[in-house]
Amino acid sequence: MDLVRSWVLAAAVYLALNFTLSVTVGYGGWTALLYALCPFLAGIAASAYHAERGTGGWGRHLLAVLPVPLGLEVYGVLLHLIPRDLRDWGLLLGQLGTATLATAAGLGVVMLTRLLLASRSEHEPYAG
DSSP letters, 24-92, are: HT-SSGGGGGGGGHHHHHHHHHHHHHHHHH--S-HHHHHHHHSHHHHHHHHHHHHHH----SHHHHHHH
In a domain, 34, yes or no: yes
> What phi, psi does 36 have (nearest 5°)?
-70, -15
What pLDDT shows up at residue 118? 78
Domain assignment of residue 17, yes or no: yes
Contact present, 42 and 15 (Cβ < 8 Å):
no
Domain with 83 in it: 2-119
128 has a pLDDT exceeding 60: no
In a domain, 99, yes or no: yes
Asked if the structure places residue 21 within a domain, the reply is yes
Cα separation, 12 vs 48, whole angstroms = 14
- Contact status, residue 35 vs residue 83, Cβ threshold 8 Å: no
Share of the chain above pLDDT 70, in %: 94
Asked if the structure places residue 33 within a domain, the reply is: yes
Number of domains into which the chain is organized: 1
**Mean pLDDT rounded to a whole number for the chain:** 87
User: What average pLDDT does this structure show over 61-79?
Assistant: 88
Evaluate whether residue 125 is within a structural domain.
no
Mean pLDDT value of segment 18-47: 90
- 124 in a structural domain: no
